Chain A
Amino acid sequence: GAVVSQHPSRVICKSGTSVKIECRSLDFQATTMFWYRQFPKQSLMLMATSNEGSKATYEQGVEKDKFLINHASLTLSTLTVTSAHPEDSSFYICSAGLGRHAFFGQGTRLTVV
């Protein structure tokens, strides 16, 4: 299947700092990518839709100024968690679609200390 690569797979940062997560579609172009968040023992919750060349669309309750999304090319979307706090610690997963299926990146485990 299609490959979506996410980097880094794991990051620990200090409270108040910012962290950038990259999501790349390796063998196909994606005009839209999606960012999900998963807290322990919970399901994936959609955070936002990343649109190539335009502003991201955020789900209700997700702070757009805290979770900055940039989709500058057809193969790369980035999620920046600004001024991270311990409650932002979570598993962040991106996805991109090809055909009728969505393919997921490996996920990024963010721990804010």
Chain B
Amino acid sequence: QKEVEQNSGPLSVPEGAIASLNCTYSDRGSQSFFWYRQYSGKSPELIMFIYSNGDKEDGRFTAQLNKASQYVSLLIRDSQPSDSATYLCAVNIGRDYKLSFGAGTTVTVRA
């Protein structure tokens, strides 16, 4: 079983719409959850992190975490063409900065 699974996409949304990305993880001991954005040919860029159950909002981004269901999601509101990228869900492994990544969901925002 994969440690981190994401809805595979690709996901295409019109400009201004909400993009919804989902991720499940297998290790109940995971404590830290991250969303990274990766543009083609570039390194991942951290856009959101969440440690506690519930919602966390940062600008147009909202991360949601449900540890009981081992589920984490990312909502992108008012999607912009510049949001077009691959979004990687990552979960910490153990007690250090080692991360397990999902396969990524490619989002395309249509102008």
Contact = CB atoms under 8 A, between A and B. Distances in A.
Contacts of A76: none
Interface of B is mostly: loop
Given A42-B103, A44-B101, A100-B32, A109 B41 contact: yes
Interface string A52-82: 0000000000000000000000000000000
Contacts, number: 53
Interface residues of A, number: 24
A77 to B, nearest CB: 13
Contact of B88 (A43, A95, A97, A107): A43
A89 interface: no
A45 B93 CA distance: 13
Contact of B98 (A46, A100, A106): A46
Interface of A is mostly: strand
Contacts of B51: 100
B11 to A, nearest CB: 15
Contact of A44 (B44, B93, B96): B44
Interface of B: 32, 34, 41-46, 49, 51, 88, 93, 96-104
9 contacts: A32-B96, A44-B101, A45-B101, A46-B93, A49-B98, A93-B43, A96-B97, A103-B46, A107-B42
